[in-house]
Structure 1
Amino acid sequence: MDKNKTIFQLLDEARKQSGEPQLTGHDIMALERFDPDVSHMIVFDVLSHSSPVGNKGERMRLFLTDAGYQKALESQNREEVKILRHAKIASGHIFYDRGSEPTR
């Protein structure tokens, strides 16, 4: 292990080796995660150019309020996005839904 690399550099190298696509949107330690109004985290693929966030073909992570999560579900119903993972957020802690944990 290279002692001159940050944990984020090491995680990015591990992601690349695993073949997992790069996520756009919020970083896993984004300040949005710690907002008391935020109660959801989703990882999703952008399926269309009409999506309200992201560009077609991107995989994104967002931390959302209840209202924002409802909008994401509506966007999924319109087939603009496909939600791949969902987690509840409480005090900055991530609690993945059963079957929604990230692959390793």
Structure 2
Amino acid sequence: MNADDFVGGHSILALERFMDETRHMIIFDVLSWKSPVGEKGERLRLFLSDVGYAKAQASERRGEIKIRKQAAVIEGHILPDRKKRRH
């Protein structure tokens, strides 16, 4: 693992992952000092409820963060988004 692979925020086994309301895991880059979470230049992982995920999407639309990866979380299990195949 090199320095570019470091992800701050919640650890992969964070308690937040297993909370009943948790539905999403995101890994994102902080692009602005105005971001409500983290500092510019950081890459973070968060486990979020539907409300928290909506807030993260709004932050991305404002240009504060860039969501790099998103996965659904069901009962603590991480289910990565699958890209739709074109036939």
With normalisation by structure 1, the TM-score equals 0.77
Distance in 2 (CA, whole Å) between partners of 1:70 and 1:78 is 13
| Residue 76 of structure 1 pairs with residue 57 of structure 2 | no
Q: Which runs of 5+ in 2 are unaligned?
A: none
The counterpart of 1:32, out of the listed 13, 16, 26, is 16
Question: Following superposition, which runs of at least 4 residues in structure 1 exceed 3 angstroms of deviation?
Answer: none
Aligned residues with identical type, % of pairs: 53
CA distance in structure 2 between the partners assigned to 1:69 and 1:56 by the alignment:
19
1:90 CA displacement: 0.3
- In 2, the alpha carbon distance for the partners of 1:37 and 1:54 equals 22
- Structure 1: give runs of 5+ residues left out of the alignment: 1-14, 100-104
Partners of 1:65 and 1:97 lie apart in 2 by 16
Amino acid at match of 1:59: R
Looking at secondary structure, tell me which structure has more strand per residue.
2
1:62 matched to 2:26? The reply is no
| Aligned-residue offset at 1:30 | 0.4
By relative contact order (CA 8 Å, sep 6+), the higher-ranking structure is: 2
RMSD: 1.1
Aligned length: 83
Distance 1:56 1:32 in 2: 23
Taking structure 2 as the reference length, the TM-score comes to 0.91
